[in-house]
Amino acid sequence: LIHHISTMMKKMNTIDLRISFAGSLISNDNIYSDMLRDKIKTFLPTVKIVAPKHLPIEGAILLARGILNE
């Protein structure tokens, strides 16, 4: 995941990136999410972890609306 985030930053040509977690494995407090947060802080210190603006279902609806409006 660190590699994916880093690649995304390069493709977007930015060092400032805000990300949020979705899915119970990384959004809940557990060893995996703690490890990911620690790795982000260590290897990608300019990345900020933020709370999601919408629930996953709301994101799916927004995507579906965009596809239907094309």
pTM of the model: 0.73
Q: How far apart are CA 66 and CA 5, in angstroms?
A: 25
pLDDT tens-digit map of 1-46: 999 999 999 999 999 999 998 888 888 889 999 999 999 999 999 9
Categorize the per-residue pLDDT at 54 as very low, low, confident or very high, splitting at 50, 70 and 90: confident
* Contacts with 32 (C-beta within 8 Å, 6 or more apart), sequence order: 25, 26
> CA–CA separation, 30 vs 34, rounded Å?
6
Q: Supply the DSSP symbol for 30.
A: S
pLDDT at 60 over 90: no
* 70 has a pLDDT exceeding 80: no
